[in-house]
Amino acid sequence: MTIGSEALRQDVWLANQVIPKAGLAQLTWGNVSGVDRAGGYFLIKPSGVSYDDLTPEMLVPVDLATGKVLDGDLRPSVDTESHRAFYLAWPSIGGITHTHSTHAVAFAQANRDIPVLGTTHADTFNGPVPVTRGLTPQECAHDYEFHTGQVIVELIGDDEAAAAMPAALVANHGPFTWGASAKKSVEHAIIVEAVAEMALKTLALNPAAATPQHLQERHFKRKHGPGAYYGNPAAKS
């Protein structure tokens, strides 16, 4: 018997198919997972498998508590421990996406947050999409993917903060996004890449472009009421 509900397999498989369709990765440089918290596992794309060859049955079930593969012979994505760290830290998320989308990676490699320069950004992310600190040589040598997950959780914070900011850039690597479902997480990956490209082109046209006050509070105000703003919990009403 294959572990994993048919519905979750279909959702995660469809979300993985969005990556090439949306131009978020070349080759296999991206992966999506989805979690079944009641079942205590998540399904993730198998490592190195092309999106054309991928079927729902090939998705790898991984134990949420231990990280062990529960069924099948395929190796899970190399990023599995990063995905697992987010599921353990943030109970409200249901899906995670990692890509190497070009413009978001440019900000990650430049160690720069993606600034809030327009409503497209502010309507989804209630502040700059943050970039993590660089991993130490020891962290890179010990278990890169595990520490990648840890530095993002350290950067974003608790479950509420993760809901308000469902994206982060790993320094010198690329974007991770998350959401209530696998589908939602890959939609956030599309938006991260779009706002990264817009920001890069905006700054090329006007290096002094900055975030007007009304944009800073647009998203959080809508979600948390007047005065609330990500990164400024004291302002929450």
Does residue 147 touch ligand 5SP according to CB under 6 A?
A: no
Binding footprint of ligand 5SP, residue count (CB under 6 A): 11
* Min separation Cβ 96 and ligand 5SP, Å: 12
Given 73, 123, 143, 158, the catalytic residue: 123
Beta carbons of 42 and 83 less than 8 angstroms apart: yes
Evaluate whether 170 touches 85 at the Cβ level (below 8 Å).
Answer: no
Token pair for 168: 């982060």
Q: Which single residue is written with the structure tokens 């939609």?
A: 187
Residue 132 as a binder of ligand 5SP (CB under 6 A): the answer is: no
**CB-wise, 24 or 156, nearer to ligand 5SP?**
24
Min CB(47)–ligand 5SP separation in Å: 3
Question: Which residue stretch of 13-21, 44-52, 155-163, 224-232 sits at the interface with ligand 5SP (rule: CB under 6 A)?
Answer: 44-52
10 Å CB burial of residue 56 (0-12, 13-18, 19+) is: middle
Q: Counting contacts by CB under 6 A, is residue 31 touching ligand 5SP?
A: yes
Per the annotation, the verdict on 230 as an active-site residue is: yes
> Which among 99, 120, 84 is positioned nearest to 22, based on CA atoms?
99
| Maximum Cα–Cα distance across the chain | 59
Q: Is 78 in the site for ligand 5SP (CB under 6 A)?
A: yes
Contact 95, 178 (CB under 8 A): yes
Rounded CA separation 192/134 (Å): 20
In whole angstroms, what is the distance from residue 167 CA to residue 148 CA? Answer: 13
Q: Using CB under 6 A, which of 83, 98, 219, 224 touches ligand 5SP?
A: 98
Stretch near ligand 5SP under the rule CB under 6 A, chosen from 5-13, 74-82, 194-202, 222-230? 74-82
Q: Which of 15, 34, 35, 77 binds ligand 5SP (CB under 6 A)?
A: 77
Interacting residue ranges for ligand 5SP, rule: CB under 6 A: 28-29, 31, 45, 47-48, 77-79, 98, 100
| Residues with a known catalytic role | 123, 230
